[in-house]
Structure 1
Amino acid sequence: MAGTMNGRIHSWDLSTGVDGPGTRFVLFVSGCPLRCLYCANPDTWHMRDGKETTVDEVMREIEKYRAFITTAGGGVTVTGGEPLLQPAFTGEILRRCKEAGLHTALDTSGFLGARASDGLLSGTDLVLLDIKSFDSTTYRRLTGGELTPTLNFANRLDRLGVRMWIRYVLVPGWTDDAESVEGLADFVAGLGSVDRVDVLPFHKLGASKYEALGLPFPLRDTPSPAGDAVERVRERFRAHGLAAY
């Protein structure tokens, strides 16, 4: 029964290094509850825009690349959109991949962390947790959502011993506030299952997608951060004993 479970996906891709260890099969599922101002994939916001598929179909696609991704020390990453908007579908893919001996990663904002059952997480080797801001007011302005569910989810992952990579997008004028960065570094340093922090410079690679969808790109006039600014933020995390890249 589970194999015929339906979900909606946007696309899939192969990538190296940014979506978990090694070369990954990256599945982009459709639908997201947040509207991050810097979102690079506005074409994944709505579930209705996705292609309906089954877990079996996804697994057949993954199987074609198994030798390639395992040789390259990789695995499968489910991202989006927001994978936890379709928790049963996402959980089944993660479980099947893990049973097939593939390393599994879940890329999530954590906003819907409460929808991730312990069963789903037991099929997940690594969570790529996007913490968009550590200031609740900024978080709301930046994403349209609340920060607390993500922090609760991070604490739960830590209790369960699920490995985490924290991802933090550095947006000038939004997430480069020293006090907020310091607060986040302090919080993350208190989590025992965090392996690394990725500080990702804001970019405008998704701008053309907004144009194609007839949408204004909210951060059109925001510059990408300077390299030394990104390095300074990485240093703040390193000062708390964290590996930051």
Structure 2
Amino acid sequence: MHRELLSGVRTGAVGSVHSWELVTAVDGPGTRLTVFLAGCPLRCLYCHNPDTMRMRDGQRVEVTEVLRRLHRYLPVFRAAGGGLTVSGGEPLMQPAFLARLLRGARELGVHTAVDTSGFLGANASDALLDDVDLVLLDVKSGDDATSRHVTGRDLQPTLDFGRRLSERGTEIWVRFVLVPGLTDAVDDVARVADHVAAMTSVSRVEVLPFHQMGREKWERLGMDYALTGTSPPDAALLARARAQFAARGLTVY
């Protein structure tokens, strides 16, 4: 079954899917069907969905099944200005399946968004990106050293992907998670803001406060959670970080 899944993932006929949900004003504009794919190359210390890290832990789902569900919600999308968001995990771990989902959504006239760290941006072909209306780009930090500490991976691929999207004119919403003692240093936030300001197609920045909602999942999976003693940022810290982005002329939430 595992070999069958991998074969299907390579062709895009099937994908490893963790879950899906209908949400409003969370993963893009309007009411959206958000499909969470399984598998991620990053190991973010604050990940609130550690159960999506391994592709083999997902469900084998045919692309036609997701598109049938998408078709069912067409009246909702049209009424609420919503669409499809593919998240994870990391959707670009399954580029063929992602491409088929996006193409099918585009053929239905549905707005499309991809929620990604951009680390695997090289996996996204130009044809795939032609079917993307919006990228929710998770920028984890402002430099490679902090990025490696927070995620286990380098930052540069994310920046390269953001530059590529900007050159194409693809709309970007940047997401940055503010973690006290980890990603909140004034200089690091300033570097993130500078990187984002250089991405000319960014239309908004979401500074997301760290929370402990994923802690129970880590413990249930028997994984070591490094941020047990970390508190969410207070209002003053959030305001300072948001002001740093706004000072670069960015629209901040």
TM-score by structure 2 length? 0.94
Structure 2 letter corresponding to 1:92:
R
TM superposition outliers: structure 1 runs of 4+ over 4 Å: 1-4
2:27 corresponds in structure 1 to 19
Conserved 8 A contact 1:4-1:56: no
The separation in 2 between residues aligned to 1:63 and 1:126, in whole angstroms, is 20
- Per-residue CA deviation, residues 128-158 of structure 1 (Å, 9 max, x unaligned), is 0000001210100110111010000000000
Q: Does 1:216 align with 2:216?
A: no
3-state SS of the aligned residue for 2:18?
strand
- Per-residue CA deviation, residues 179-206 of structure 1 (Å, 9 max, x unaligned), is 1111221221122210000000001111
Structure 2 letter corresponding to 1:8:
S
Q: Does 1:147 align with 2:155?
A: yes
Q: Does 1:194 align with 2:234?
A: no
Conserved 8 A contact 1:44-1:81: yes
Match of 1:96 among 101, 104, 125: 104
- Quickly say closer, same or farther: Cα 1:138–1:4, change in 2 above 3 A: closer
3-state SS of the aligned residue for 1:224?
coil
> What is the CA-CA distance between 1:70 and the residue it aligns to?
2.2
> What is the CA-CA distance between 1:4 and the residue it aligns to?
7.4
The separation in 2 between residues aligned to 1:66 and 1:212, in whole angstroms, is 37
Higher deviation after alignment, 125-134 or 209-218: 209-218
- Quickly say closer, same or farther: Cα 1:219–1:102, change in 2 above 3 A: same
> What is the CA-CA distance between 1:69 and the residue it aligns to?
2.3
Which structure 1 segments of 5+ residues have no match? none
1:1-245 → structure 2 map (5 Å cutoff): 5-245=13-253
Conserved 8 A contact 2:30-2:83: yes
Structure 1 letter corresponding to 2:183:
T
The separation in 2 between residues aligned to 1:119 and 1:161, in whole angstroms, is 14
Which structure 2 segments of 5+ residues have no match? 1-7
- Quickly say closer, same or farther: Cα 1:57–1:177, change in 2 above 3 A: same
The separation in 2 between residues aligned to 1:54 and 1:24, in whole angstroms, is 20
RMSD: 1.5
The separation in 1 between residues aligned to 2:78 and 2:41, in whole angstroms, is 33
The separation in 2 between residues aligned to 1:160 and 1:12, in whole angstroms, is 29
- The number of residue pairs the alignment matches comes to 245
The separation in 2 between residues aligned to 1:18 and 1:228, in whole angstroms, is 24
- Quickly say closer, same or farther: Cα 1:162–1:215, change in 2 above 3 A: same
Structure 1 letter corresponding to 2:241:
V
Seq. identity, %: 53
The separation in 2 between residues aligned to 1:128 and 1:65, in whole angstroms, is 22
- Quickly say closer, same or farther: Cα 1:16–1:239, change in 2 above 3 A: same
Conserved 8 A contact 1:202-1:224: yes
Structure 1 letter corresponding to 2:249:
G
TM-score by structure 1 length? 0.97
